[in-house]
Chains A and B, each alone.
Chain A
């Protein structure tokens, strides 16, 4: 069954704030084979709190992660993320389209700092695969 289009515009309670530490950035950087001592986090680091927010969204809408394919992602930064930031992500659904039995969900995640200032905006395209034929 396609997703209820009424989820467009819906907002979800923010996940607990994510504290950016030198260690959390180093772990992220080293997984990509690079090294890190100090300074700004990589541009895709905000996926860490954004992924938590996405899991909250999936749970709220009773969607199964195993049926979700990440179709596209963009981050637009107001400033780089740095250790010491405490980030909060507010996710909302921008659009839902149903194509060939799959739902194409566009989400927008606003990442703000402890002062409430916008740090970056993440937009994701999530493909929610419908049930297989005959199941």
Chain B
């Protein structure tokens, strides 16, 4: 069994990153401040890795139709999601590996940003 799920596009904005920083407690300025991000060698403001993983969780919740079904979720943060002033789109898609396992792909500007993003569901 291996079924592709519909791809969904989410818009990531700097305003959302500021809101996520407040909600998560991660106030690292590389996620909010262009100058700080560039000073440490980044191409610009980047999304929190956990923000991108939260989008993957949102995608799975929407695909299964409810929250609370995810038993495990994990990924490697392989590439940054660079968020310009006008925001950026990320595309999330998934493949059902079996009844309980989904492989999730998140891309930004055509580049895969999460490695080995896998989600398992509870019954």
Contacts and interface: CB of A to CB of B under 8 A. Distances in A.
Nearest to B116: A72
Given A27-B22, A31-B16, A72-B77, A40 B40 contact: no
A43 B22 contact: no
A77 B25 contact: no
A65 interface: yes
B53 A44 contact: yes
Interface string B109-123: 000000100010010
A94 interface: no
A74 B72 contact: yes
Contact of B55 (A32, A69, A70, A123): A32
Nearest to A30: B19
Interface stretch (A6-14, A47-55, A95-103, A109-117): A47-55
Interface residues of B, number: 39
Contact of A74 (B28, B67, B73): B73
Contacts of A73: 49-50, 53, 74-75, 77
Contacts of A30: 19, 23
Contacts of B49: 70, 73
Interface in B34-83: 40, 48-51, 53-55, 57-58, 60-62, 66-68, 70-77
A44 B49 CA distance: 11
Contact of A33 (B10, B48, B71, B119): B10
Interface in B1-35: 10-11, 16, 19-20, 22-26, 28, 30
25 contacts: A32-B10, A32-B20, A33-B10, A33-B58, A34-B58, A42-B54, A42-B57, A42-B58, A42-B61, A42-B67, A43-B57, A43-B61, A43-B67, A43-B70, A48-B25, A55-B25, A70-B49, A72-B74, A72-B77, A74-B75, A75-B72, A75-B74, A76-B71, A77-B122, A125-B76
Give me the 8 closest cross-chain CB pairs, A-B, nearest first: A74-B74, A40-B68, A43-B70, A31-B20, A80-B68, A31-B19, A28-B23, A72-B76
